């Protein structure tokens, strides 16, 4: 049975970017093609042979596919190229938009028991973030890391980094809107009315006792730098 795709990464299991520098012993441990890997290359040649091998090993390391050719470390390209007996320069000729790479990705997913992350999966991930993680964590980078970790655990190919970022932002917005709505519902009608009056915009002729702009209007216009001086002026 295959090990988890990120099991050889040590403490790197939840990082998004692949490491760029590899010592020779690390290359051998992580990027060596096993007998079953070589078997999967039998019907492939040239750039497709090298491309498939690199996609396979990259997925084993990162539990996702590279965004482009430059994301695969040069040392790994050279080492894998030697094993498959294809010049490393052929990596630049690998077609990233053709039918071959789509077929290769499908084969790799089958090898590791993964599937593509659908739109429905992304909606469920956003709901999970909003309900379970956002109440205790609003840092969007850490939420994005949690999405990737959850996808790996559920054997889902994570969405592209940009989509993961948008997914985390969507979850934060949904949580904040829900939190505000729930808080407002708990307030009495009188309290809501007083709060509305407190933060209402004015034209400078109403609001404060002196007839000037309200404090919240001034704060929204220019809150200024946080510090002792600004605090004492309020």
Contact residues for 96 (Cβ-Cβ < 8 A; gap 6+)? 68, 69
Whether residue 223 is predicted with pLDDT greater than 90 in this model: the reply is no
Higher pLDDT, 226 or 189: 189
Domain ranges of the chain: 7-113, 119-186
Q: Is 141 exposed, middle or buried (0-12, 13-18, 19+ CB in 10 A)?
A: exposed
Higher pLDDT, 166 or 205: 166
Q: How far is CA 204 from CA 43, 48, 193, 216, 234, in A?
A: 78, 70, 20, 12, 18
Higher pLDDT, 192 or 123: 123
Q: Is 34 exposed, middle or buried (0-12, 13-18, 19+ CB in 10 A)?
A: exposed
Pick from 99-108, 122-131, 150-159, 177-186: least confident: 177-186
Task: Return the biggest CA–CA distance within the chain.
Answer: 85
Question: What does the alpha-carbon distance between residue 210 and residue 222 come to, in Å, rounded to a whole number?
Answer: 20
Confidence of residue 213 (pLDDT cuts 50, 70, 90): low
pTM over 0.75, yes/no: no
């Amino acid at each position: 049975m295959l090990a988890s795709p990120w099991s050889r990464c040590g403490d790197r299991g939840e990082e998004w970017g692949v490491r760029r520098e590899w010592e020779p012993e690390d290359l051998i441990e992580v990027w060596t093609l096993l007998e079953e890997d070589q078997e999967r290359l039998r019907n492939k040649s040239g750039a497709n042979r090298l491309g498939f091998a690199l996609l396979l090993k990259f997925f084993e390391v990162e539990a996702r596919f590279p965004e482009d050719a430059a994301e695969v470390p040069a040392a790994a390209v050279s080492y894998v190229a030697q094993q498959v007996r294809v010049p490393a320069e052929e990596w630049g000729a690998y077609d990233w938009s053709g039918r071959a790479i789509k077929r290769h990705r499908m084969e790799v997913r089958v090898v590791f028991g993964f599937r593509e992350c659908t739109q429905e999966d992304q909606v469920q991930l956003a709901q999970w973030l909003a309900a379970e993680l956002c109440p205790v964590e609003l840092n969007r980078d850490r939420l994005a890391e949690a999405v990737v970790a959850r996808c790996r655990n559920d054997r889902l190919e994570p969405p592209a980094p940009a989509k993961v970022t948008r997914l985390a932002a969507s979850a934060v917005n949904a949580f904040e809107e829900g939190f505000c709505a729930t808080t407002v519902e708990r307030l009495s009608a009188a309290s809501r009315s007083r709060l509305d009056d407190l933060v209402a915009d004015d034209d400078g002729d109403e609001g404060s006792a002196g007839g000037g702009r309200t404090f919240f209007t001034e704060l929204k216009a220019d809150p200024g730098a946080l510090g002792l001086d600004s605090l004492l002026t309020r």
